[in-house]
Amino acid sequence: MCRLLGYLGQPILLDSILYKPDRSLIVQSYEPREMTSGVVNADGFGIGWYHSQRDTDPFTYKNTLPIWNDTNLPHLARYVESECILGYVRSATAGQALDFSNCQPFGYDRLLFVHNGFIQNFRQTLYRQMRAQLSDPVYQLVKGTTDSEHIFGLFVNELTAKNITVETALRNALKTLVELAKFDRVEFSANIIISDGQQLVASRFAWQTTPPSLYWLRDDLNFPKSVIIASEPLFASNWHECPAQSIISVGGDGEVRIDSIL
């Protein structure tokens, strides 16, 4: 199971959140503490960030190498500064291709999306049903084969069909997934972090199984006026466990809001 990271707050170098913490995303890639499936996250990674001074789409850097083997990322991380960062290290489901089309973050317009979890026997269970839910433009948006990108497709489908918020689109997508899973008696988990550069919207959610770990931290001394959401605590501090079956949202005011999904 993958490990996720979201940051929103004062501008920081990527290095300060990816490498410097004692239990950084790099460490979690080879020595995770709270994974319920798998041992390491060695099947690629992705980093996404926004530049607040430019009216541009977000930037991403991805690789199919283990994150600890990428020799370019440390140099990039000491150069790039951002107020909003998403990170992801992958532990691929058996049978899923290890290629760039399956690397997260997935993107649409100014949105970035990362997912940690699974859909039980995805190709044999909900693959066709999920694709059938998608409008043609969203269907064409899905390039890879993972359950993660198809959950992303459900989210974008909701967001583009109606004039709704990111939180509502995520909630609706997860409710749709529950209805599909009920019919086929399929387990799934969906820890997700989404951003448009101005907010973080996350879920800790599962159906008929235990959701993966997810925590949030606000206004740490080393990261003042900032919020971090992560699969595991990055360092010793006053981390809060995200409640199961909930959506966690953070806006520009730094306030953390938690709402039930079902």
3-class secondary structure, 73: helix
Question: What single letter denotes the amino acid at residue 202?
Answer: A
User: Does residue 2 have an active-site annotation?
Assistant: yes
Block residue for tokens 């951002």: 82
Strand partners of residue 230:
5, 215
Residue closest to 249 by CA, chosen among 203, 196, 180, 182:
203
How many residues are recorded in the chain? Answer: 262
3-class secondary structure, 20: coil
CA dihedral 46, 50, 51, 57 (to 10 degrees): 100
CA dihedral 244, 175, 93, 121 (to 10 degrees): 120
Whole-number Å distance between alpha carbons of 46 and 110: 16
- Which residues are known to be catalytic? 2
